[in-house]
A and B are shown apart, each in its own frame.
Chain A
Amino acid sequence: MNNELTVSSAARETLPTVFGYIGIGLAYGIVGKASGISPLMITLMSLITYGGASQFIIVSMLVTHSPMISIILSAFLVNSRMILMSTTLAPYFKKESLLKNIILGGLVTDESFALGMNKLNFTDRKLNFAWFNTVNWFAYTAWAAASLVGALLGNFISDPEKFGLDFALVAMFIGLLYLQLISDKSIKFKLQLIVVAFVLVATYIGIIFIPANLLTLVVTLLACAFGVVIKHGFF
């Protein structure tokens, strides 16, 4: 990374994350096809919903015939972290037009957010439209293309579970959680570990009586409230 906020520097710096999008996008396409969803719908979901974890969840809830409203609510909740990331990013683009803000905001991802936060350390705390927009579009096109290819490959790989591909998502959460733990300096490391431990206990207890599609929401809201309380009580 350097201090250049140009299209070419963005292209160079996005490359490592593009490999990630291709891997998970392929897995998503294959899992989607194996779940009986058409390549067209699989690709549309990547273009319209555009959220890795949420797309796997939508597929699994479609398979279990969940009501539409609870699928949409689950997708919203899984993606609600976008609110936080967009909120953190927005101040750096205050001088850009409203339209440019909407274009940038509409394609923010975990990875483009992380790259942006990293870039700030090299540019004297500055970001611009050209750089961030390039990062976003590389991610968006790689994700959609990989999803389509995965869906088409799915015709030949009928049982992706056999190869462990369904674990790609869980592994991604493990990786993102770890990267979050070591890079998020806004919350003390020990407090983060306590919240993660709380989530484990809350999941174990909650899974006894909370339906699977509501469990993530309930546990996350409880853990956020718990985190705030512990932070004020002990940190």
Chain B
Amino acid sequence: MVSSSFVFFTILGSGIATWLSRIMPFVILKKFQLSSGVIEFLSFVPIAIMSALWFENLFIQHLGHLPSLDMPNLLASLPTVLSALISKNLLVTVVVGVISLGFLRLVLGM
């Protein structure tokens, strides 16, 4: 494991970067306005980043070659998506997801 000072400065750096992302719009927009082009570009960030972070978990990387499928994550995603559609509730979705993958691992030994 890396040293705790490395961990601490990584936390601090990430914290400052994140904090600035959070507060700068509040500070700047007291005086200025974003151009409509930038706002339009940023409007795609939430769906793009969330789907990217999901899809990355469905593949196993082999640099230079086609990825293989991460079957447990892919199979666990199905009931998870279904529970999101039905419940529209984040907590229910997370619980169903965890139980699904736990079931695949513990019961089916995947």
Chain A residues at the B interface, C-beta cutoff of 8 Å: 16-17, 19-20, 23-24, 27, 35-38, 41, 44-45, 48-51, 53-54, 58, 62, 65, 68, 71-72, 75-84, 86-87, 89-91, 93-94, 98, 101-102, 104-108, 111, 161-182, 184, 186-187, 192, 195-196, 199-200, 202-204, 207-209, 211-212, 215-216, 219-220, 223-225, 227-228, 231
Contact = CB atoms under 8 A, between A and B. Distances in A.
B44 A200 contact: no
Interface residues of B, number: 78
Contact of B84 (A80, A105, A175): A175
Contact of B8 (A44, A101, A227): A44
Interface of B: 1-2, 4, 6-15, 17-19, 21-27, 29-30, 34, 37, 39-57, 59, 61, 63-67, 73, 76-77, 80-81, 84-85, 88-91, 93-106
A172 B93 contact: yes
A37 B1 contact: yes
Contacts, number: 295
A199 B41 contact: no
Nearest to A221: B48
B102 to A, nearest CB: 3
A54 B11 CA distance: 10
Given A79-B22, A178-B93, 5 more contacts: A72-B10, A79-B21, A86-B22, A161-B105, A162-B102
